[in-house]
Amino acid sequence: MLKIELSEEKAQPVLMIRTTTRLELLPQVIGESYAKIMTYLAELGEQAVFAPFTAYHNLDMQNLDVEMGFPVAKMLPENDEIKARELPAGKVVACMYKGPYNGMEQPYKEMAEWIENNGYTASGIAYEYYFNSPLEVPESELLTKIAMPVR
């Protein structure tokens, strides 16, 4: 059973890249986007203030609308495809998931049920914050925070 929590989040400045891709290309797109943003952060002399995220704006596996980014301390200048924006303040339902990415259907299902059972409505965007990577640890040890803004 997941520990699902509701919190009130402050607005969070981020640097991000938004694109559309197919599910099978997603790991490559995420990796390339994170590398571009990390390089740009280094050029600016700035650092991320929290784990990198991917935001899913839809669940169309052939045409995923995704946004990869890093939370930062303040609004920073944009650079080509790297955009600056703020994740909005508001209520967020979140849980920590440990395990392989292909096992994340269950926590999403449990969170959707929790949201409905507690009288909230999901915004339609899901954020995944990655605390480690398959390049660093076995799949069974992957840590991902799943967060869904609600109203």
Return the pLDDT at 135. 87
Residue 46 in this model has a pLDDT that exceeds 80: yes
Return the pLDDT at 2. 86
Q: What pLDDT, in 10s, does the model give residues 103-125?
A: 999 999 999 999 999 999 999 99
pTM: 0.95
Per the prediction, the chain carries an average pLDDT of 96
CA–CA separation, 73 and 50 (whole Å): 9
Q: What pLDDT, in 10s, does the model give residues 2-13?
A: 899 999 999 999
Q: What pLDDT, in 10s, does the model give residues 1-45?
A: 689 999 999 999 999 999 999 999 999 999 999 999 999 999 999
Domains of the chain, by residue range, sit at: 5-149
What is the pLDDT confidence band of residue 68, given thresholds at 50, 70 and 90? very high
Cα within 13 Å of Cα(117), Cβ side: 9
Describe the strand order of the beta sheet including 90-98 as a list of residue ranges.
Answer: 5-9, 90-98, 143-149, 126-130, 53-56, 64-71, 12-21, 83-87
Among 114, 112, 122, residue whose Cα is nearest residue 150: 122
- CATH architecture, domain 5-149: Alpha-Beta Barrel (3.20)
Among 72, 74, 27, 21, residue whose Cα is nearest residue 49: 72
Return the pLDDT at 61. 85
